[in-house]
């Protein structure tokens, strides 16, 4: 409760107002309203095809929207060009498939954004990148190409790459879904640490225990709409809607 | 005339022609690479007229014979008050045509890059130019080493169009024509040139696969 109250005073980092999106006939996002405040960890869950990944990707405009408004620290997200690039640099993104730059070493993957986008001097960028790689536990792999690393290691590098940009928030789009079970833990551990350090995070995940542990707020989506929005304990123990109950039951079986 | 007699009489000229062929090849291929990359960038740019221009460029130069292009440059362009040396005309013709193929190979190289890497580049705030120069083109080039090696060989063969104009000194194919108008070289004169083309192609091929092994990205 204490943390929650504190959060109410924090400034919103991400705001979505009446966001709508269609894929042809399909209405994938329906009047989405969402505010994420500084330091908050918001977990989006829902059945596949519910629009949760799309929602996550609209926040840095990897997906365009049809109508509505998206604000990053109060600034409207530009449609294209250098302004959009500038704003994107302030919101990190971690993908399901890691998406490291295959032709660059682990270290260069992390320094590329700082040196080329933020114009940080090379030596300083390398130094900081090594610290970040150490923090996520892959500093010994710095000189290798991504293909030489395990999925779990690659995903941790991807997190370091995001952190190197000093983002206002990081979006995680099913960060553990492509991982072998034994590697999920190491990635979730890094994410838990980030959450504890006060990083603003929005994540789409199927890891319910993890969600319960780290989330400040759970968003439940179905068929393009936000159906429920609650604290993790409330949501998981007393889901308010039938759809959420059905969803939670369906995953309990596993 | 036998090989020995031909070589004793025209050996110096063959050496000169061989150098000329290589000189044309390297310069034309450099033009092809630079233009090929530039046109490819246009073809993937977010601006539609540029994409269209790039596509039209490739369609034009992929689909005209080098010899025709050379003849246009040498005999038609002077009417537009554009008069270039024979050497320059050969270079332009032998560079523009492979540049279209170069772009095609790079486009298929680009298709090997997972879309997620483009999204990752965007998500760290890279501009289109940064994404192209740091992520897209380097990977497209690495993926295209073998086709580009073939392109280098075919560029060398394309430089034979220089035999259509009085280049001085001549390259390998032009030299054959020269020998056969000054002596009875017959088919042997062709064989010597052909052997030099073949030897060059083998060397190019070996170097190409060495480079490929070194830079290809294993995913």
Q: What is the ipTM of this complex?
A: 0.91
Find residue A10's DSSP bridge partners: none
Q: Which residues of chain B have pLDDT under 50?
A: none
The answer to whether the beta carbons of residues B158 and B32 sit under 8 Å apart is: no
A100 contact residues in B (CB cutoff 8 A): 117, 120
B120 and A88 within 8 Å at the Cβ level: the answer is: no
Q: Are A45 and A230 in contact (CB under 8 A)?
A: no
Does residue A64 register a pLDDT over 90? Answer: yes
Contacts of B31 (CB under 8 A, 6+ apart): B91, B92, B95, B96, B99
Cα–Cα distance measured from residue A195 to residue A167, given in angstroms and rounded to the nearest whole number: 14
B124: chain A residues, CB-CB within 8 Å: 88-89, 92, 112-113, 117, 161-162, 165
Q: A38 falls in which pLDDT band (50, 70, 90)? A: very high
A113, A145, A147 member nearest B125 (Cβ): A113
Touching check for A23 and chain B: CB below 8 Å?
no
Instruction: Pick A62's closest partner by Cβ from B123, B135, B139.
Output: B123
For residue A199, the surrounding DSSP H or E stretch is none
- Please classify residue B191 by burial: count the beta carbons closer than 10 Å to its beta carbon, then call 0-12 exposed, 13-18 middle and 19+ buried: middle
| Contact criterion met (CB below 8 Å) for A16 and A70 | yes
Mean pLDDT (chain A, rounded):
93
Q: What is the pTM of this model?
A: 0.88
Quick one: DSSP state of residue A202? E
CA-CA-CA-CA torsion for B70, B72, B76, B80, nearest 10 degrees?
A: -90
CB-nearest partner of B125 from A99, A102, A165:
A165
pLDDT at residue B182 in the model: 85
Q: How far is CA B175 from the centre of its chain?
A: 21
Tell me if A162 and B139 make a contact (CB, 8 A cut-off): no
Tokens read off for B125: 């705030």
The pLDDT tens digits of the residues spanning A79-138 come to 888 889 999 999 999 999 999 999 999 999 999 999 999 999 999 999 999 999 999 999
Residue A93 forms contact with B (CB below 8 Å): yes
* Shortest alpha-carbon distance between residue A100 and chain B (Å): 6
**B123 contacts A93? CB cut-off 8 A:** yes
Identify any residues that bridge with A173 across adjacent strands, giving them in sequence order: A204
CATH number belonging to domain B3-215: 1.10.3720.10
Question: What are the domain boundaries of chain B?
Answer: 3-215
Q: How confident is the model at residue A254 (pLDDT cuts 50, 70, 90)?
A: low
Q: Which two tokens stand for residue B6?
A: 């031909």
Both tokens of residue B8?
Answer: 């004793």
Residue indicated by tokens 């034979």: B160
């Amino acid at each position: 409760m204490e943390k929650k109250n504190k959060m109410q005073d924090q400034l919103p980092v991400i705001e979505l107002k009446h966001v709508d999106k269609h894929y042809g006939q399909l209405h994938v996002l329906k009047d989405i309203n969402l505010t994420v405040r500084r330091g908050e960890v918001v977990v989006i869950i829902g059945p596949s095809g519910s629009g949760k990944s799309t929602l996550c990707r609209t926040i840095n405009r990897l997906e365009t929207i049809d109508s509505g408004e998206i604000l990053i620290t109060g600034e409207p997200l530009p449609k294209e060009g250098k302004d959009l690039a500038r704003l994107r640099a302030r919101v990190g993104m971690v993908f399901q498939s890691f998406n490291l730059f295959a032709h660059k070493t682990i270290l260069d993957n992390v320094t590329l954004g700082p040196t080329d986008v933020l114009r940080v001097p090379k030596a300083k960028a390398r130094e900081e990148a090594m610290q970040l790689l150490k923090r996520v536990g892959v500093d010994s792999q710095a000189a290798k190409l991504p293909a030489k690393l395990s999925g779990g290691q690659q995903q941790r590098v991807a997190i370091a790459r995001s952190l190197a940009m000093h983002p206002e928030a990081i979006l995680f789009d099913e960060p553990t879904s492509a991982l072998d079970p034994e590697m999920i833990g190491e990635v979730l551990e890094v994410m838990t640490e980030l959450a504890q350090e006060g990083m603003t995070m929005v994540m789409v995940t199927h890891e319910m225990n993890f969600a319960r542990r780290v989330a400040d707020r759970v968003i439940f989506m179905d068929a393009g709409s936000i159906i429920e929005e609650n604290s993790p304990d409330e949501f998981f123990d007393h889901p308010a809607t039938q759809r959420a109950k059905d969803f939670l039951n369906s995953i309990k079986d596993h | 005339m036998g090989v020995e007699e031909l070589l004793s009489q025209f050996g110096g000229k063959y050496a000169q022609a061989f150098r000329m062929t290589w000189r044309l090849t390297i310069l034309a291929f450099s033009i092809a690479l630079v233009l090929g990359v530039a046109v490819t960038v246009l073809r993937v740019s977010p601006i539609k007229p540029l994409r269209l221009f790039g596509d039209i460029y490739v369609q034009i130069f992929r689909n005209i014979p080098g010899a025709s292009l050379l003849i246009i440059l040498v005999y038609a362009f002077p009417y537009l008050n554009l008069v270039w040396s024979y050497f320059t005309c050969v270079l332009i013709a032998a560079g523009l045509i492979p540049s279209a193929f170069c772009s095609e190979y790079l486009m298929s190289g680009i298709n090997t890059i997972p879309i997620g890497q483009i999204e990752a580049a965007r998500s760290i705030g890279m501009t289109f130019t940064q994404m192209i120069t740091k992520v897209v083109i380097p990977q497209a080039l690495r993926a295209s080493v073998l086709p580009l090696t073939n392109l280098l060989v075919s560029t060398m063969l394309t430089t034979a169009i220089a035999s259509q104009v009085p280049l001085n000194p001549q390259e390998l194919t032009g030299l054959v024509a020269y020998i056969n108008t000054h002596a009875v070289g017959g088919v042997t004169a062709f064989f010597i040139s052909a052997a030099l083309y073949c030897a060059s192609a083998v060397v190019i091929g070996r170097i190409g696969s060495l480079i490929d092994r070194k830079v290809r990205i294993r995913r």
